[in-house]
């Protein structure tokens, strides 16, 4: 475990390097339309089936930011019952290497990767795969212990 010197918060012990969790969600048409409404992102690639038939994708794709929301769900599941107050400090190295289509089932794997005890941070590798085991999104997520 990578660890800089500092006081060890119980969250560091509750979330050891290597601990992981997975969550799954089938992306529905409602998910995409509700997310478009919440985000204001009504780009044709998300909401215009006819337009998308004429592209290399051939059909609508889900928002990349929706995959971040699924990552956030996994983070919340990982941190449930962990002592103290832990917040999302942000995501680094976010990538969307493959499209997510309506009807795809996305599996999010959230794995604790590193501790920075002195800064009160915990970094995790987060990967989203579809039902064909293709990586559709990946990022590093940073949790910050605030109390």
The 10s digit of each residue's pLDDT in 131-141 is 999 999 999 99
Walk me through the domains of the chain, giving residue ranges and CATH numbers: 10-145 (3.10.129.10)
CA–CA gap between residue 23 and residue 107 (Å, rounded): 6
DSSP β-bridge partners for residue 91: 141
Which is nearest to 71 in space by CA: 147, 144, 145, 142? 142
Q: Residue 109: is its pLDDT beyond 70?
A: yes
86-112: burial string, b at 16+ Cβ within 10 Å, e else: beebebeebebebbbbbebebbbbbbb
State the DSSP code for 134: -
Q: Report pLDDT for 6.
A: 55
Q: Report pLDDT for 2.
A: 46
CA–CA gap between residue 100 and residue 106 (Å, rounded): 8
Q: Report pLDDT for 147.
A: 84
Q: Report pLDDT for 85.
A: 92
Q: According to DSSP H, which parts of 19-86 are helical?
A: 29-39, 44-47, 49-53, 64-79
Mean of the pLDDT values across residues 92-107? Answer: 98
pLDDT (tens digit per residue) in 4-61: 455 688 888 888 999 999 999 999 999 999 999 999 999 999 999 999 999 999 999 9
Backbone angles phi, psi at 76, to 5 degrees: -60, -40
Q: Report pLDDT for 7.
A: 66
Q: Residue 63: is its pLDDT beyond 90?
A: yes
CB 64 within 8 A of CB 105: no
């Amino acid at each position: 475990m990578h660890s800089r010197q500092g006081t060890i918060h119980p969250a560091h012990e509750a979330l050891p390097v290597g601990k992981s969790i997975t969550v799954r969600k089938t992306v529905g048409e409602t998910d995409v339309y509700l997310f478009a409404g919440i985000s204001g992102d009504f780009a044709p690639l998300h909401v215009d089936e006819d337009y998308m038939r004429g592209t290399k994708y051939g059909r609508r794709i889900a928002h990349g930011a929706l995959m971040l929301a699924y990552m956030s769900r996994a983070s919340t599941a990982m941190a449930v019952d962990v002592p103290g107050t832990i917040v999302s400090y942000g995501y680094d190295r976010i990538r969307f290497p493959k499209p997510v289509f309506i009807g795809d089932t996305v599996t999010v794997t959230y794995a604790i990767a590193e501790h920075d005890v002195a800064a009160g941070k915990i970094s995790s590798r987060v990967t989203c795969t579809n039902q064909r085991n293709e990586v559709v999104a990946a990022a590093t997520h940073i949790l910050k212990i605030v109390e």
